Amino acid sequence: MTDSAQNSPPQTAPTATATSPTETEQTKTEQTKATPNGVEHRSLVLTSYDPRTSELLGDYAMMGADEVTRTIREAKSAQRWWAGLGSAGRKRWLLDWKKAIAKRAADLVEVVVQETGKPHDDAWLEVMLAVEHLDWAAKNAGKVLDRHKVRSGLVAINQASSVGYEPLGVVGVIGPWNYPVYTPMGSIAYALAAGNAVVFKPSELTPGTGTWLAETWRTLAPNQPVFQVVTGDADTGAALCRSRVDKVAFTGSAATARKVLAICAESLTPAVIEGGGKDAMIVGADAKLDDAAEAAVFGGMGNAGQTCVGVERVYAVETVFDDFVALVEKKARKLKPGADRGAAYGPMTREAQVEVVRNHVRDALDKGGTAVVGGLDSIREPYIQPIVLVDVPEDSIAVTEETFGPVLVINRVRDLSEAIARANATSYALGASVFTRDTRTGQWVAERLRAGVVTINSVLGFAGVAALPFGGVGDSGFGRIHGADGLREFSRVKSIARQKRRAPLHLLTMDRKARHLRLSKWVFKTRHAR
């Protein structure tokens, strides 16, 4: 497949690799560059580092408002071509893009591993899941969004009614670093499939991953910049919010979400917010304890706990509490973080997060919690050994705020009702899980949990189900990505009512006949007042 227009999108390829920096968090550096006329000028550069080794991976453009504006302009023009293809045409392009990503998945995995430090297997899992979403969005957009008839009903029987979902225009996607492919793809794939152009601002910690994705699109359609990347930090993200895009899809912390919304408010730009989480797992008296413990350790420690829908809190019913904790303890002790291929998980990708984790663990212990695995000594930058805390007071920040580290808090509860009340007590409400052998009990609990998604007898079981909408409540955000709702999130609904013939009871006229209204009243009473 080839495109036809002449303009090429801007390049954001890395400009250097080599030497070791002294601090990994220092992603913004000033560089002096010589121009062809010999005049030196200073420019800001975004530098990406490997959090395992502090090795410099590459320099990327620190894009400012002008570059963002230029990118949006190009996106607007490409979007007209893209929208004109219709869902069937876009499906072909998106499936080609999917194939290009899948063919070179090993390269993408390598970039993700280097930028986040996560083990190869985890990066593979992330890329495979992201591709599933791209595939689903491409294949289902037509079914969900194309114009379709709806019933007009008795009182408007003379109307032919239909609903269609139109693209918004250009969507600005702002992503985090913890799942730098899977997470933004939840917006990118669905926004593109709905006919929008996308300008993606990856996290300053993972600019290479975002650039890799944009390059695969550019190789496919060099003259149609339907999907582009702008690299940079918070200022670049803010510039994207100010750039009059038609919607912002933000994924990140609740604190940044507030800033994003404040900027969007200036121009009434709508936004979908995928915020953080403090997910709870509930373990019932009849749960398969070994399965529950395995899931708690995976959900709590996987990706070094840097998962928005990871398990941060467990509420286990007191009759099984001790047995459950013993199983978790045994499994957690086996985990060894590191940089080697056999490591259970990698380093803390964001250096500053280490201090957050330390504060949470210290507060939990100071308030009377007990560490059954690890403790404050487990925190040695950039790796944190597994930490399991029990009987942590509910007002501890390890219970109320997002820890985002390999720390599991397990508290005992009398019964499922108390577990639900505690699970629902934080400002976050993203995901939750429940373990029970009884299907009806599982459903009963799931329906009472304040969360955007609940898994029964698994954690993260929803992640591969592209048809399931995903998103949070409260500090975890609003709006939905994934599934049919995810496609509609990036669309504007338009209703059309076509009059086929004059209505038998003609009421929409200034010459309304008394007889018609009399008859209408009779129909109304007969239908609704009996």
Q: Which residues bind ligand NAD (CB under 6 A)?
A: 174-179, 183, 201, 203-204, 233-234, 237-238, 241, 251-253, 256, 259-260, 274-277, 308, 350, 402, 404, 430, 472
Contact call for residues 208 and 60 (beta carbons, < 8 A): yes
Min dist. Cβ of residue 474 to ligand NAD (A)? 12
* Beta strand extents in 417-512 (DSSP E only): 428-429, 431-435, 453-456, 473-474, 477-478, 491-499
Helix (H, G, I), strand (E, B) or coil at 20: coil
Beta bridge partners of 494: 164
The two structure tokens encoding residue 134: 């791209």
Exposure b/e, 150-176, CB count within 10 A at least 16 = b: eebeeeeebbeebeebebbbbbbbbbb
188/220 with CB nearer ligand NAD: 188
Contact call for residues 210 and 229 (beta carbons, < 8 A): yes
Is 308 known to be catalytic?
yes
Chain Cα centroid distance, residue 105: 20
DSSP string, 181-197: THHHHHHHHHHHHTT-E
Classify residue 428 as exposed, middle or buried by CB count within 10 Å of its CB (0-12, 13-18, 19+). Answer: buried
Distance from C-alpha of 259 to C-alpha of 488, rounded to nearest angstrom? 25
309: Cα within 13 Å, side-chain hemisphere:
25
Distance from C-alpha of 494 to C-alpha of 161, rounded to nearest angstrom? 11
Is 241 known to be catalytic?
no
318/355 with CB nearer ligand NAD: 355
9/275 with CB nearer ligand NAD: 275
Kind of pairing between the strands at 428-429 and 271-274: unpaired
- Measured CA angle at 410 (ends 408, 411), to 5 deg: 150
Query: Which residue is associated with the tokens 């969005």?
Result: 137
120/259 with CB nearer ligand NAD: 259
255/517 with CB nearer ligand NAD: 255
Length of the chain: 530
177/462 with CB nearer ligand NAD: 177
Q: Which of 197, 247, 219 is nearest to 81 (CA)?
A: 197
Beta bridge partners of 471: none
Of 308, 312, 401, 402, the active-site residue reads: 308
Q: How far is the CA of 352 from the CAs of 9, 183, 208, 453, in angstroms?
A: 34, 21, 21, 29
* Preceding peptide of 382 cis, ω within 30°: yes
Distance from C-alpha of 113 to C-alpha of 347, rounded to nearest angstrom? 11
Q: Which of 278, 280, 250, 257 is nearest to 405 (CA)?
A: 278
Contact call for residues 277 and 312 (beta carbons, < 8 A): yes
The two structure tokens encoding residue 128: 């495979």
99/242 with CB nearer ligand NAD: 242
The two structure tokens encoding residue 244: 């009059």
77/253 with CB nearer ligand NAD: 253
177/383 with CB nearer ligand NAD: 177
369/479 with CB nearer ligand NAD: 479
In one-letter notation, the amino acid at residue 357 is V
Helix (H, G, I), strand (E, B) or coil at 8: coil
Of 74, 115, 126, 274, the active-site residue reads: 274
In one-letter notation, the amino acid at residue 30 is E
Min dist. Cβ of residue 70 to ligand NAD (A)? 18
Min dist. Cβ of residue 312 to ligand NAD (A)? 10
Residues annotated as catalytic (active site), given as ranges: 274, 308
